[in-house]
């Protein structure tokens, strides 16, 4: 009995000692001890202008800088993938995962697809940004946009630079129609070089751009066949299994996510095809970081690099990933997480504090 008491007392004193060390370390590092223990893990549905928008927010410290992910598509809710591959960012930042109107857990079968426009997404984004700023007492937050999300984020940063600490464009979109032309040229060139008659036959059947939403997906598959969409592909099966087992997505949600993506692609196809950021966003009054895959031919990283050179911003950084194509966060996740963290600090972006 006494031995048990001695063990219990030792455990108590050890716990107190370790707690004191952690608190002392927090004070030494200049952190509020109470805030240091306030991890963030919340999910909510935000009601705005005829929609309910799903927002998941996670982070090891509530007082950390805030980052908002802007997924691609439009309608391609990548939140579960961002969490699976890039969840390490939650160690240094408060990371918000938002399903845009009509996407993922924000999808409603009763909603009017005509409401899915660039202007509406910008209004929704402003609502979400203000919500996060108020919730975490942040003057500004950082935006990370992937693919279509990079267009949305850059347009928002141009409109509201006072709310954006930094914008990170990953697989940066530049021009809808010119991107389609570059895709067509890439597939044609690679198929001829490799003697792939099946690909040439399918490309001829689709024809040159502009593309419908359906044909756009068909061309995307052809681009992927030649390494322009994924250059280093993670296992599809293992990604699904890890996502389900990790609680990032439920099996019955997968079909809904795919359907929502198709609805958004169809609804916004014409508007996205006509979008050209060189005309609509020649300058941004906020720090800008482009993260580009050397092999990306889905939006063509060479076009994005040329746009980067022309883009006027108070601070700019261009980071190349030599072993990736369009889906850098999932192709080289560890290096991506490291580069994002370093780049934000290198730009000395005062993210939200």
- pLDDT tens string 217-226: 999 999 999 9
CA separation, residue 178 to residues 119, 158, 206, 297, 339 (Å): 22, 22, 17, 12, 29
353 belongs to a structural domain:
no
194 belongs to a structural domain:
no
Q: What is the mean pLDDT of residues 30-34?
A: 43
Does one domain contain both 16 and 64?
no
Does one domain contain both 25 and 45?
no
Q: Mean pLDDT across the chain, nearest whole number? A: 90
Closest listed residue to residue 329, CA positions, set 172, 223, 171, 220? 171
pLDDT tens-digit readout, 247-262: 999 999 999 999 999 9
Closest listed residue to residue 268, CA positions, set 152, 110, 97? 152
pLDDT tens-digit readout, 79-129: 999 999 999 999 999 999 999 999 999 999 999 999 999 999 999 999 999
Is the CB of residue 174 less than 8 Å from the CB of residue 278? yes
Q: What is the mean pLDDT of residues 19-46?
A: 57
pLDDT tens-digit readout, 46-83: 999 899 999 999 999 999 999 999 999 999 999 999 99
266 belongs to a structural domain:
yes
If pLDDT is split at 50, 70 and 90, which confidence band does 25 have? very low
If pLDDT is split at 50, 70 and 90, which confidence band does 161 have? very high
Closest listed residue to residue 275, CA positions, set 352, 333, 210? 210
93 belongs to a structural domain:
yes
CB atoms within 10 A of CB 133: 16
Does one domain contain both 24 and 65?
no
Task: Report pLDDT for 345.
Answer: 81
Percentage of residues in the chain having pLDDT higher than 70: 88
Q: What is the mean pLDDT of residues 282-290?
A: 97
85 belongs to a structural domain:
yes
Do strands 51-59 and 40-48 pair parallel, antiparallel, or not at all (unpaired)?
antiparallel
Does one domain contain both 263 and 302?
yes
Does one domain contain both 47 and 26?
no
Residue 76, Cβ density class (10 Å: 0-12 exposed, 13-18 middle, ≥19 buried): buried
Does one domain contain both 237 and 118?
yes
Task: Tell me how far apart the alpha carbons of residues 316 and 13 are, in angstroms, rounded to a whole number.
Answer: 51
Buried b (16+ CB within 10 A) or exposed e, 266-278: bbbbeebbebbbe
pLDDT over 70 at 2, yes or no: no
Identify the domain containing residue 6 by its residue range: 2-34
Task: Report pLDDT for 36.
Answer: 45
Is the CB of residue 60 less than 8 Å from the CB of residue 93? no
209 belongs to a structural domain:
no
pLDDT over 80 at 24, yes or no: no
Is the CB of residue 299 less than 8 Å from the CB of residue 179? yes
Does one domain contain both 120 and 8?
no
Task: Tell me how far apart the alpha carbons of residues 24 and 30 are, in angstroms, rounded to a whole number.
Answer: 10
220 belongs to a structural domain:
no
Does one domain contain both 50 and 127?
yes
pLDDT tens-digit readout, 202-236: 999 999 999 999 999 999 999 999 999 999 999 99
Task: Report pLDDT for 26.
Answer: 36
Does one domain contain both 262 and 276?
yes
CB atoms within 10 A of CB 129: 22
Does one domain contain both 148 and 284?
yes
Q: What is the mean pLDDT of residues 154-162?
A: 98
Does one domain contain both 130 and 60?
yes
Q: What are phi and psi of 177, to 5 degrees?
A: -70, -40
CATH for 296: 3.40.50.1820
Question: Is the omega angle on the peptide bond into residue 274 within 30 degrees of 0, that is, cis?
Answer: no
Does one domain contain both 6 and 155?
no
Task: Report pLDDT for 6.
Answer: 37
The total domain count for the chain is 2
pLDDT tens-digit readout, 9-20: 333 333 333 333
111 belongs to a structural domain:
yes
Residue 70, Cβ density class (10 Å: 0-12 exposed, 13-18 middle, ≥19 buried): buried
Task: Report pLDDT for 37.
Answer: 56
- Kindly report whether the global pTM for this prediction surpasses the value 0.85: yes
Buried b (16+ CB within 10 A) or exposed e, 193-224: eeebeebbebbeebeebebebebbeebbebbb
Torsion angle of C-alpha atoms 132, 93, 321, 183, degrees rounded to 10: -20
């Amino acid at each position: 009995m006494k031995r048990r008491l001695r063990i219990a007392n030792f455990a108590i004193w050890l716990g107190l000692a370790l707690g004191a060390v952690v608190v002392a370390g927090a004070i030494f590092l200049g952190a509020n001890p109470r805030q240091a223990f306030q991890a963030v893990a919340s999910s909510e549905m935000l009601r705005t202008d005829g929609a309910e928008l799903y927002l998941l927010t996670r982070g090891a410290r509530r007082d950390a800088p805030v980052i908002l992910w802007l997924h691609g598509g439009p309608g391609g809710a990548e939140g579960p993938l961002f969490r699976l591959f890039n969840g390490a960012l939650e160690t240094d930042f408060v990371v918000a995962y938002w399903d845009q109107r009509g996407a993922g857990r924000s999808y409603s079968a009763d909603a009017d697809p005509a409401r899915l426009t660039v202007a509406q997404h910008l209004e929704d984004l402003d609502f979400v940004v203000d919500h996060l700023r108020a919730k975490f007492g942040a003057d500004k937050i950082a935006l990370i946009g992937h693919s279509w999300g990079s267009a949305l984020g850059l347009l928002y940063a141009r409109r509201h630079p006072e709310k954006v600490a930094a914008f990170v464009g990953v697989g940066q979109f530049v021009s809808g129609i010119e991107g389609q032309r570059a895709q067509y040229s890439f597939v044609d060139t690679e198929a001829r070089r490799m003697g792939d008659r099946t690909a040439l036959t399918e490309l001829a059947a689709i024809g040159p751009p502009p593309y419908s939403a359906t044909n756009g997906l068909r061309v995307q598959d052809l681009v992927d066949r030649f390494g322009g969409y994924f250059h280093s592909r993670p296992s599809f099966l293992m990604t699904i299994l890890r996502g389900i087992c990790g609680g990032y997505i439920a099996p019955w949600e997968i079909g809904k996510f795919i359907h929502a993506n198709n609805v958004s692609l169809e609804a916004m196809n014409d508007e996205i095809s006509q979008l050209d950021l060189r005309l609509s966003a020649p300058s941004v009054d906020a720090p800008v970081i482009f993260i580009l895959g050397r092999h990306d031919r889905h939006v063509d990283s060479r076009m994005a690099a040329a746009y980067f050179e022309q883009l006027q911003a108070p601070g700019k950084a261009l980071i190349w990933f030599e072993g990736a194509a369009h889906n850098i966060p999932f192709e080289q996740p560890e290096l991506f997480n490291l580069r994002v963290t370093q780049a934000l600090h290198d730009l000395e972006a005062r993210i939200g504090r």
